[in-house]
């Protein structure tokens, strides 16, 4: 599977799962990731619970449910690599562009980069090899 092709072609709903240092799990809706290489992706995120959890526990899971009939999609097992506050880069990757005043009121944005450790099919345990 080529992540860049997959996330360019597929439409659907994404859910990011993280947990804090005590293992308390949170989930949040996230858009398709920005593919950074064969096994690296990134998300633009605000300083909310998901981001705060990643400061304490660098492991996450991203579930992507494809639009359409049935339950098709993937589960990505992730480890946080780093993050950037480069607003020019973040703006260039942002898919939504609210007016600057509203954007500022919602808080700081971060570009958080992850290594994709494993990809499984949405249903079952079939591992998908990245190419």
CATH code given to domain 3-121: 2.30.110.10
Give the H/E segment covering residue 74.
strand 73-84
For residue 45, the SS3 value is strand
Report how far residue 47's alpha carbon sits from residue 51's, in angstroms, rounded to the nearest whole number: 5
Per-residue pLDDT of the chain (131 residues; tens, 9 = 90+): 999 999 999 999 999 999 999 999 999 999 999 999 999 999 999 999 999 999 999 999 999 999 999 999 999 999 999 999 998 999 888 866 666 666 666 678 999 999 999 999 999 989 999 99
The pTM for the full model equals 0.91
**With contact defined as beta carbons under 8 Å apart, do 78 and 62 qualify?**
yes
- Exposed / middle / buried, residue 102 (Cβ in 10 Å: 0-12, 13-18, 19+): exposed
């Amino acid at each position: 599977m080529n992540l860049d092709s997959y996330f360019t072609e597929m439409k659907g709903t994404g859910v990011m799962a993280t947990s804090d240092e005590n293992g308390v799990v949170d989930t949040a809706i996230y858009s398709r990731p920005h593919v950074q290489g064969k096994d690296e992706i990134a998300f633009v995120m605000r300083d909310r619970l998901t981001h705060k959890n990643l400061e304490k526990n660098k492991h996450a899971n991203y579930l992507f449910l494809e639009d359409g009939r049935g339950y098709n999609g993937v589960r990505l097992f992730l480890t946080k690599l780093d993050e950037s506050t480069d607003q020019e880069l973040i703006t260039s990757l942002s898919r939504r562009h609210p007016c600057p005043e509203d954007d500022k009121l919602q808080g700081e944005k971060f570009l958080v980069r992850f290594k994709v450790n494993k990809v499984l099919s949405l249903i079952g345990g079939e591992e998908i090899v990245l190419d």
